[in-house]
Amino acid sequence: MKKSQLTFPALLLVLTLFLSASWVTLSSSVSGDLISCLQSKSNNVTIISQLVFTPVNASFLPVWQVAVQNTRFLKPSTTRPSVIVTPVEETLIQTSLYCAKKHGYEIRIRSGGHDYEGLSYTADVPFVMLDFTNMRSIQVDVAKRTAWVEAGATLGELYYSISQETDTLYFPAGVCPTVGVGGYMGGGGYGNLLRKYGTAADNVVDVRFMDVDGNLLDRRSMGEDLFWAIRGGGASSFGIVLAWKLRLVPVPKKVTVFILNKTLEQGATEIFHKYQYVAPTIDRNLHIRTQVFAEYIGNTTKKTIRIMFEGIYQGTSDTLLPLLGKIFPELGVTREICEEVKMVQSTVVFWGLPSSTPTEILTNRSAIAKLNNKSKSDYVRTPIPIRGLRKIWRKLMENDGSALLMINPFGGRMDDFSETSIPYPHRAGVLLQILKTVNFNGQPSDATPTSLRRIAWLQSLDALLTPYVSNNPREAYSNYNDLDLGVGSANYEEASVWGERYWKKENFKKLIRIKAKVDPNNFFRRPQSIPVF
């Protein structure tokens, strides 16, 4: 037998192209029934052709790719939709829902945000992707201190829209302007204002929602149980959020921001140790986020830890400096590093850009780099001792430079809420939330030997942190979805492995009861969605 002349990489390329071509052929053939259904239910076939895409359309791949915010899913092996629907109004959503159910397709709902595990735009079954990119209007009512925001808008677009109407109102949501509003609210949502105003979901006052039968509901017509569930319990488990009505909160015309770095040689360990006690208990107007990196010292081969402290204070530096001077002088905040800016500018600063950057950048989805990472989350309820911090620092120094810890203090207003007030349970007693990330920069995929080593390192860090983070359950943030926690949902015992980490037992059981009432056949499902038993 003649020996094959194909090298392994070449063979892999041929196989990938073959599978890709096979997938396109299969998707095209199985999507015909759905397209026919959509056309038969529409009064305007031309509109259908402009808003619905299948793999045979030249625009299909660009439409799918443009809002894949985590680029590790931009690879041929990622399964894609059979059909993409980009509605401009609610009738096409109702039609898509009807046709998907009739012809046996699942639905995934994409509002265009980060989606750490790609669950809104990939699945291992035939599915329709509802892409809300065309439904992103924002209506701000300054007099009533509210805003209606469609599901396809981003936080950056929301912040910019508010800032065009007023400098003294804002919304207490996340730092990243590229996060999609639709999914963000459904998972709870936290940000720089959580210590003063709670989570984003705590400040949702109404909703426009489509249930599994295509009925349009608001808070009154859906009832308080379902309204409770979709604010932190993963709204896409229960139906389709079309728009959120948000309560805007007061902010001063100018807030104070500062950024400073401390290394081990500058006492970072001792400063961070005290930070754990101070940041969750200090004045609610002050939020100090930290980012922790391992890096080389100058041009040497010796590593150190650098901790970046990023502060935002709802007031002037004249008030902030005495406050920190009395309670946390070790941090070393001085007037020279403080800058007084509008609240919308603080979002730009926390995104890593100069405060002078035009705030229009918050609306430019293509101007800000996408993610390329794997992440995990934890909550800290007891300060980590210095010996524990040193273990963590040593583990970080073992990393190849791809790791980041991002740490946010809780306390303040978060302590005022019961852990059952909405499904988001991480309330009183939480000191810090930790996001642990490795990136795949410089790698063609997340499956190369280097990428796999980075993932293994992240898992070893996760194990190292076990004694220092919450337990029974070990809490995790559902918006930082992590399929490593498990995906089984055949029974409560199986689902509780991951469900109780996100929502705790009482909330998770209540979510399951509500799900059974509003979607008894479990049409709205995906990995780690609320199950029906």
Q: Is 13 left (phi over 0), alpha (psi -120 to 50) or beta?
A: alpha
From 170, 190, 480, 502, the catalytic residue: 480
Q: What is the 3-state secondary structure (H, E, C) of 398-424?
A: HCCCCEEEEEEECCHHHHHCCCCCCCC
* Residue 121 annotated in active site: no
64-101: burial string, b at 16+ Cβ within 10 Å, e else: beebbbbbbbeeeeebbbbbbbbbeebebbbbbbebbb
Q: Give strand pairing partners of 85.
A: 52, 130
200 near 188, Cβ under 8 Å?
yes
Q: Nearest CA to 408 among 190, 143, 252, 207?
A: 190
Buried b (16+ CB within 10 A) or exposed e, 422-447: bbbbbbeebbbbbbbbbbbeebeebe
Cβ-count burial of 318 within 10 angstroms (0-12 exposed, 13-18 middle, 19+ buried)? Answer: exposed
Give 512: exposed, middle or buried? Use CB within 10 Å, 0-12, 13-18, 19+.
buried
* Residues of the chain by 3-state class (helix, strand, coil), percent to 5: 40, 20, 40
Report, as residue numbers or ranges, the catalytic residues: 480
